Amino acid sequence: MKKIGITGNIGSGKSYVCKIFESLGVPVFYSDDETKKLYLMPSVKALIVNRFGQEVYFDDGTLNRKLLSYHLFKNDEAMKFIESVLYPALNQHFDEWCERQKSPYVLYESAILFEKNYEKFFDKIIFVSAAEHIRLQRVMRRDDCTEENVKSRMRLQMSEDLKITKADYVIYNDGDIDVVPQVLELNKLLCC
């Protein structure tokens, strides 16, 4: 089975493209969603509580995201610690998930695939591209936030131009070219 990474900058429409692949029967592993689940695993939770204190979890056992974010963004060592706990667990979870799939290939969706140098773990990489002004409008609408808020998040990501050079395939999701035929064509290539 081929393992294919799929990425794109904020507002590019990665989720939309992944849903099209799913409609074709391609299993998609959504890394952000799976990471959120890891915070609730007893072994991961114990390490986080030991490092940051019980208050990073609410009484009902859910993660206090605001408090944890506060710790992470003021301290690089704290971020490295969280990554050292979460990423190995996420990789193991992905490998176990792959073993249960019965398709010629699977997709691993991640917004920060290139930023974390994860491209080496995949057979091929798909990049979902859209012009910055389109992505900006999409995210402002989706998240009901300001232009500056979105631009500050965009600045944290590697440029689209650089990511395009690193990707094996590019799907353009800017409204000029229909996305579905691009996905269908790529699906044919990847199923071989």
What pLDDT sits at residue 125? 98
* Tens of pLDDT, residues 82-126: 999 999 999 999 999 999 999 999 999 999 999 989 999 999 999
Ranges of H-type helices in the chain: 14-23, 31-38, 42-52, 65-73, 76-99, 132-143, 147-154, 160-166, 179-191
DSSP-derived letter for residue 27 is -
What pLDDT sits at residue 60? 94
Instruction: Tell me the CA distances in angstroms from 165 to 19, 170, 172, one per residue in order.
Output: 25, 10, 14
Query: Measured in Å, how far apart are the chain's first and last C-alpha atoms?
Result: 11
Q: Residue 142 — very low, low, confident or very high, per pLDDT cuts 50/70/90?
A: very high
Tokens 């710790």 — which residue? Answer: 71
Whether the CB-CB separation of 20 and 179 falls below 8 Å is answered with yes
pTM of the model: 0.89
Question: How many Å apart are CA 17 and CA 36, to the nearest integer?
Answer: 21
